[in-house]
Amino acid sequence: MAASVELDDIRAARGAIAEVVKHTPVISSLTLSADIGGNVVLKAENLQRTGAFKIRGAVNKVSSLGETASGGVVTGSAGNHAQALAFAAQHFGVPCEIFVPVGAAITKIDACRALGATVVEHGAALAEAVHAAKERSLSTSMTFCAPFDDVAVIAGQGTLGLEVVEDIADLSLVVVPLGGGGLISGTAIAIKSQRPDVRVIGVQAAACAPYAGGTPAEGPVLTLADGIAVKHPGEITAPLVERWVDDVVTVDEDAIADAMVLLMERAKLYVEGAGAVGVAALLSGAVSPSSEGSTCVVLSGGNVDLGVVPSLIRRHENTAGRRLSVVARIDDRPGSLAQLLMVFADGGADLIEVRHIREGLDLHVRETGIHATFAVRSSDRAAALIDAASDAGYDIRSSSW
């Protein structure tokens, strides 16, 4: 018989985690409501402790162990589950070991250690780290804590659904990121057990979408939504998702990037790729907002890799036409570069970067190539600047470099 999670289990979990877990806010989104129609609100779980919803399931799991927890807990993870379990173990005063792949992000390793966990780097891939954690559990009194495929974890994640029902009187549609299925199954059970009329839709990254019928990826998955890049549905979560979730859709990397930037720029919310897929689904048209009542989008986490932010901003500026890159030929003599740059300065462009190119172009021996990037106000202004440089006698073209 398949494992089951009921509304009463989720309500019990709420009591177990109440001292630790925040009741996160629901924030109205005028931008999304105006752009796509309907009334769109955001469940800001990115503001949760440890930066993601995972703390709900981890605390409930450790609480459910009772005296068994004194032997310690162990897991394999390189992301939000690791930090959540470390936090839960610290709260209950029990030992915690986290196995991560060799070369895992040092920021996440440091975060786990700061919470008192012992971090062990093992294997080249996450699967190897998880296997090592399970072996550690079998050889010690430590309990292995799965990131999503566990009834106590699912019940804990479902407490988010209780909050959504309480906070949104006219709730009609809920859009939830879908990775392993713990969050969406718990949330759907909590919501639809009370409000069967509410639709629940899961969103996966197209690069790794087994619940949406995609072929499970066997190698490394390159996606901004790495937090939900789970290659195989869980044994417990798969039937729950099939029973309780109305639909599953996918979004591509461009849509995820657009959603992350929009949330930063317009909503002032820092949301990781996995947490932003619901907004991406609305922006891309993969999900249509409800015409009656409120559409709630769950922002499941805010642990953004800082290294990706500059690339997101650059991409957004290019897409919006606010960044212009050009390649030009100029005479290789003093003052030539300054004269070219003055054409752009006179047109209101702000120089970001410039460099010489002496290879890869068919240049005269007294010429040099220039690759320059400017901040501009619009794509129309960028086109006008290129025309002005051409009129001034420069051999110039826009560049996608």
Pairing of β 350-357 and β 294-299 = unpaired
Give the Cα separation of 313 and 290 in Å (integer).
Answer: 31
Q: Which of 137, 172, 284, 300 is catalytic?
A: 300
- Long-range (24+ apart) CB contacts under 8 A made by 345-353 are 346/388, 347/381, 347/384, 347/385, 347/388, 348/376, 348/377, 348/381, 349/324, 349/374, 349/375, 349/376, 349/381, 349/385, 350/374, 350/375, 350/376, 352/323
* Count of alpha carbons within 13 angstroms of residue 290, beta-carbon side: 20
Strand order through the sheet with 395-398: 350-357, 367-375, 323-331, 395-398
Crossing angle of the two packed helices 106-114 and 80-92, in degrees rounded to 10: 10
Order of all β-strands in the sheet with 171-177: 26-28, 39-44, 294-299, 171-177, 199-205, 247-251
Q: Clarify whether 231 is annotated catalytic.
A: no
Phi-psi region of 100 (alpha: psi -120 to 50; beta: other; left: phi over 0): beta
Q: Say which of 43, 54, 61, 108 is annotated catalytic.
A: 54
Burial of 214 (0-12, 13-18, 19+ CB in 10 A): middle
Q: Are 326 and 382 in contact (CB under 8 A)?
A: no
Strands 350-357 and 367-375 turn out to be antiparallel
Length of the chain: 401
Residue with tokens 């981890």: 58
- Residue whose pair of structure tokens reads 């804990």 in the numeric block: 156
- Count CB atoms within 10 A of the CB of residue 123: 16
Is 54 a catalytic site residue? yes
Q: Are 181 and 200 in contact (CB under 8 A)?
A: no
How crowded is residue 69: how many other Cβ atoms within 10 Å of its Cβ? 22
Taking the C-alpha atoms of residue 21 and residue 18, their distance in angstroms, rounded to an integer, is: 6
Catalytic residue numbers read: 54, 300
